[in-house]
A and B are shown apart, each in its own frame.
Chain A
Amino acid sequence: DVKVTQSSRYLVKRTGEKVFLECVQDMDHENMFWYRQDPGLGLRLIYFSYDVKMKEKGDIPEGYSVSREKKERFSLILESASTNQTSMYLCASSFFGQGNTGELFFGEGSRLTVL
């Protein structure tokens, strides 16, 4: 059974703390994504990666960084958490190629609260 696993379902952090959100997929997918989800705004792309050590900014990269040292793992880093980063964070992976729809497979989400 294919799987995307996010390290923490719920986190509570204080303003200014460094936060790591980890995501691991077991499908050998090239592409991995970090989204942020807020009510009424849908999903907004923070960063994505199409290969090891490669990363591209999405729509809202400010205040975030990412790391992809291994194909299966994509980490989201909040260098100095702020209250406006309180949100649900979703990790996803995909493979897009011949005869493939490119659908995204998602983790269960990490709900971050910054106090």
Chain B
Amino acid sequence: AQKITQTQPGMFVQEKEAVTLDCTYDTSDPSYGLFWYKQPSSGEMIFLIYQGSYDQQNATEGRYSLNFQKARKSANLVISASQLGDSAMYFCAMRGPDSNYQLIWGAGTKLIIKP
């Protein structure tokens, strides 16, 4: 069965430091997609970045990058030069070929940026 694990329930990071949020996944399907979402305290879920299992390069979107290690089944989110506005919950999710309509979600990591 597909599964997403986020082992860090909470993190404190100093402003301007880089942050790595961990995500490991479990699937036997060769084709899958991995997503990261941000949820500020206001509640809306904001899509950050996507990595396909066949993508040759790690995905990047501005200050966000995805450290994709396929053999280790990990898809860690890296936020460079953190800002106070990065304080939020962060969720890792996976879509597999047999669940084209759905995403499997991790429990989330609460990130707090300290000034």
A-side interface residues toward B, CB under 8 Å? 9, 31, 33, 40-45, 48, 50, 56, 58, 88, 90, 92, 94, 96, 101-109, 111
Closest B residue to A30 by CB, please name it: B101
The total number of A-B Cβ pairs within 8 Å is: 56
Of B33, B44, B101, chain A has the most CB atoms within 10 Å of the CB of B101
A9 to B42, CA, bound (A): 10
Closest B residue to A49 by CB, please name it: B101
Asked if A106 and B108 make an inter-chain contact with CB atoms under 8 angstroms apart, the answer reads no
CB-CB < 8 A to B100: which residues of A? 96, 102
Asked if A103 and B47 make an inter-chain contact with CB atoms under 8 angstroms apart, the answer reads yes
Q: How many B residues are at the interface, by size bracket?
A: 20 to 34
Asked if B43 and A101 make an inter-chain contact with CB atoms under 8 angstroms apart, the answer reads no
Does B25 have its Cβ within 8 Å of any Cβ on chain A?
no
A109 to B93, CA, bound (A): 18
CB-CB < 8 A to A58: which residues of B? 102
Of A43, A56, A58, A101, chain B has the most CB atoms within 10 Å of the CB of A43
Q: Could you say which of A42, A103, A107 contacts B108, with CB atoms under 8 Å apart?
A: A42
